[in-house]
Structures are given as C-alpha cells and as structure tokens.
Amino acid sequence: MLIEAKIGSIAKEGSELAVVGLFEEEKELTVAAALDSALGGRITDLLSWGDFRGTKGETSVVYPGANKVKRVLLVGLGKRAELDTERVRLASAAAARKAVSIGVTSYTTAVPEDGNRLKVEAAAQALAEGAILASYRTDLHRTEKEPHETKPLEKVLVLLDGSKARAAAEAGIRAGQAVASAVNWARDLANEPANYITPSALAEQARQMARESGLRCQVLGPEEMRRLGMGALLGVAQGSAQEARFIVVEYKPKGKAGAPLVLVGKGITFDSGGISLKPDQGMEMMKGDMAGAAAVLAAVKAIAALGLPRRVIGLLPATENLPSGTAYKPGDVLTSITGKTIEVISTDAEGRLILADALGYGQRFKPAAMIDLATLTGACVVALGNVGAGLFANNDDLASRVESASRESGEKVWRMPLWPEYAEQIKSDVADMKNTGGRPAGAITAALLLSKFAGDTPWVHLDIAGVSGAEKETALQPRGATGFGVRLLVQLVRDWR
C-alpha cells in the first residue's frame, strides 16, 4: 500500500473518496470546513440534524453529486479531550475497511491532529498503521476467491496545510509503514500452518530477513545447543522429528549503542502438549504458539528499518512439542543452560522450559534489560481475558518503561505480582524446581520460574496468551494472529534513553 503526504486541501483534491474525521458534539468544522462549503453545507446539515454525531468508530458516506470528490466518508473520532494515537489508529482502520467495502482502492484524508494533545508526526504514524493493519488478509493459502470479494486498498493520500506539517507527516508515515508492515509479517508467521513454519523454516525466515535488513543472524542446531547445555530446550524437542533451532538475530546501529536490549520470543511452532496431550478441540490453533517469536523477529526488523540508536538482540528458541516414543515425560528432570535442574510435572508446560534456556543464554550479552514474550498460560487468559497482556517484572523502572510504551503503542498490558509466597508451589523434592505449580496463580508461578533465569538483569515477562490471536474480526484485523507485541517493543526501543 502506498501512503503519501502532500500539501493541499481535501476540498480541492479530486478523489474517489475523501475521508474526514469529526469530533463528537462539535458542530464547528475545522479541517472539513472548506469541504463542507464546497458541498453546500451537507456535512453541517448532517451534524445539526443528528444524523452523524461523531462518536468513536461511527461512519457515514455522503454522495455530493457533481464535485471533484465523488464520495465523502465521515469518521467519528469521539470526544476531542480523549483523542490519542489509538483513537486515530482505529479511525483510520474504520476508514480503510469502509473504503474497501464500497469498492474504493484509494482515498484522500487529513491528519486529525490536535496541537497540544497530539502532534502531526504521531498522528500520521497512527493513521498509516491503522490503514495497513486493517487491510491485512488471512487468505494465505486460498487458491480461489469468492466473487463478492473486493479489491485491496492501494493508496492513501494524506493532505497537509504546509511544508512543515508535511515533513512531520512524512516521518510519521515512514514509521507507521515500517511498524505496521512488521506487525503483518508477524501475523503471517503465526497464521502459517505448522507444516509450513517448522523450527528450521522459522530459522530460514530469520536468515532471509537479516540478509534484507543488514542484520547478523546465527542459527544453532541440536549439537551446538547440546554443547551449550540447553537441556531444557532439547528436552522439549526430543519428541519431534523436526530438529530444534535456536535463532539469534542482532541489530547493531552505527556508533556507541550502549548495553543491548535482549528480546526473547517463545517459538513453539506446534504445541500438542506432548505426552500430557491437549484436548483435540482447538488444537489446530496451537500453530500460533510461536507468536512471541514472530513478534520479536518482526520487531527487530522494524527497529532496523527505523535505524534506532540502540543495539537489540532477538533470541528465538524454536521447537515442536509432540508425543512420541522419544518424547520427554512427566517425572523427567532436565538440566538448563545455567545448570539449574527442572522436574517435569506436565509436558504441556513447555514454554517456560525453552524460555529458561533462552533467558540464561541472554545473560552472556550483559544486557541493559531482557523482555520475553510468550503465549505462556491459560491462567493469564482467565485473569485478563483477550484485551491486554500480563506484565511481570523484577524491576520497577523497566516495568514503567514497558507500561509507557504500551500506552503510546495502543497494546495494553497490566502488571501482575511476583509474590514470593507462590514460589513454594514450584519447589521440587528431586530437582531445583518443577515446571508447574498447579492451577492456583498459574500465570504467577510460571513467571516466577522464568525469574530464576533472568538473574539480576532487569527483566519483564509478557504473557500474551490472551492477546496473540483474535477469535473474531476487529477494527484492526480479521480473525487470527494479531502480531501483538511488535508495536510495543518498537515503541520501547524508540523511547529508550
């Protein structure tokens, strides 16, 4: 999709569709004033009659007749006092979806910025993200299209009132395109069937991205992992005919970049539960158990595209978790890269095992912080549902940084406790710890296990089990993988000082 900024007026720029954002309970027009005049007051009439109120997400198409603009799409922005980047993102998504639904492949619009509250660059970035994210499709393997299916959106022209505003908008659009394109790539990776995205296929995706982005990529196989002592990851992998991979992707900017940020993503490319087999209903969705790895890989891609001044290292432990005659079993004891031993109570609590080795490996970089993303526990879904991720941290400053990035990116997180009392539940009689502490506080006990491998490094764990996939269509996407975490991680790195 092409998104361009241009100095001009919606009223004077000919187009198939002009998109105008309007605030709730405001009858006085600003950006749309000239267009309203050209339409003989049609927009003002709709507002005064109450046919359009400007509520969040509301849309209405106006057909002006003989005019350079063939159609006008009014999009509600809600109350002016509540305008933020997420509101702009959602309004842009609503516009893109409506445009496609009426058969329009391009439209003109203006940035709904509000001086002190929201600057042009931030608003333009959100606008670009909304249009690109809403245009994502999941028909990766469909060979036939339905007759009623519409053409995709091809172009958005953003009109500004001066060169200074245009320069700011262009910067925002570039960032929005980089971030949203990365999110959609993460969605593609997580939506792919497990026979397409195996551990080795994921490694090849990482290699290809690294070549295109000028990054360093190292892929470790089983023998190299064995020499490093990654017994937890290899234990999970031993039930599958597909060999495990440990993927390291590094972005290193020019100049002094300081201690790196290490991002870790759970990469279970298919999770059957292993010997502790999951129920068959819904198991097909376990192809997305590598959503954390997809988000980390895509975030590093976007960070490189933006040229951010912070060294970032992505670590992706990748394997399948399957039952077989060689699979690891309940009661087994695995030795991690740090030498700590873990008693296996359930083979379906495998994510924390592969993350343990990844976090332990991450220590060698002496990072400023480590952040892991994982579709880790159903308990977190019970606690927080499908709106936000659970945030666990051993460092308040890092937690605050992630919360700030969450607010700016629109990807919600909620901080959860790491109360030490719950560590009793993962004590083992035969090893240093056991891999699950039972149902009570399940998300917390999983995070407590991970904390043992983060050491003294500032660390955040994001449990994205509830937000990695959407069961129903939303403004920003169809059903399927969400790419959650890409926007948040990129914003965190952009803000890092």
- The H-or-E segment that residue 267 falls in is strand 267-271
Indicate the Cα dihedral angle 39, 41, 46, 50, nearest 10°: 170
> Quick count: other Cβ atoms within 10 Å of Cβ 253?
14
Longest dimension (CA), the chain: 81
Catalytic position from the list 352, 401, 487, 494: 352
Q: Residue 236 is encoded by which pair of tokens?
A: 């999970």
Which distant-in-sequence residues (6+ apart) come within 8 Å of 470 by Cβ?
A: 386, 477, 478, 479, 480, 481, 482
Q: Residue 24 is encoded by which pair of tokens?
A: 């709730």
Q: Are strands 433-434 and 341-343 parallel, antiparallel or unpaired?
A: parallel
Instruction: Using alpha carbons, list the distances in angstroms from residue 12 to 7, 32, 109, 161, 319.
Output: 11, 12, 12, 12, 56
Which distant-in-sequence residues (6+ apart) come within 8 Å of 369 by Cβ?
A: 261, 262, 395, 398, 457, 458, 459, 460
Q: Is 278 a catalytic residue?
A: yes
Whether 414 and 388 have beta carbons less than 8 Å apart is answered as yes
Report the candidate in 233, 257, 256 with the shortest Cα–Cα distance to residue 244: 233
Can you say whether residue 216 is alpha, beta or left, with left for phi > 0 and alpha for psi between -120 and 50 degrees? Answer: beta
Query: How far is it, in rounded angstroms, from Cα 355 to Cα 332?
Result: 18
Whether 206 and 219 have beta carbons less than 8 Å apart is answered as yes
Report the candidate in 349, 361, 376, 331 with the shortest Cα–Cα distance to residue 438: 349
Angle between helix axes 442-454 and 351-362 (nearest 10 degrees) is 30
Q: Is 472 a catalytic residue?
A: no
Indicate the Cα dihedral angle 168, 172, 177, 178, nearest 10°: 110
Instruction: Using alpha carbons, list the distances in angstroms from residue 468 to 303, 392, 433.
Output: 20, 17, 28
Catalytic position from the list 70, 80, 252, 278: 278
Query: How far is it, in rounded angstroms, from Cα 267 to Cα 465?
Result: 13
User: Strand, coil or helix: what is 469?
Assistant: strand
Give me the active site residues, please: 278, 352
